[in-house]
Structure 1
């Protein structure tokens, strides 16, 4: 497991590695942390892939509810951080 906390930049990196960048979306925009994943162009399969990559990279096991309940990047990062603690 990585000692550093999981951040929004980590989430963006994993999203880009696993699912790429949706056309016309700037993941560095100020409103991205509170924008619904669906509005950003990421569907449930992209989030499942992201969760799987995070589990492998950080050596944690995420509940299935993380993908369903964390509908924004900020919520996803908080959920991962809570599981990693």
Structure 2
């Protein structure tokens, strides 16, 4: 069992009554984590995302992918081999 739901615009995971759940950022706008916001919507400039989910009988793996994130990265040589 695992609950997946969207349209939340925040990446959140946890469990509810022993059932794990996962939400993710939207593919449009994002909402900043602001636990005091009551009369405004704290829109942020975080990149949109989607998830790749692997479901197995004994485990669930969720990979988050920020597909428009153009941050620099370094290709580090593998030490295995």
Is TM (by shorter chain) over 0.5? no
Q: Which has the larger radius of gyration?
A: 2
Q: TM-score range by the shorter chain?
A: under 0.3
Higher helix fraction: Structure 1 or Structure 2? 1
Q: Pick the structure with more strand per residue.
A: 2
TM-score, scaled relative to structure 2: 0.25
Structure of greater relative contact order (alpha carbons < 8 Å, 6+ residues apart)? 1
TM-score, normalised via structure 1 length: 0.24
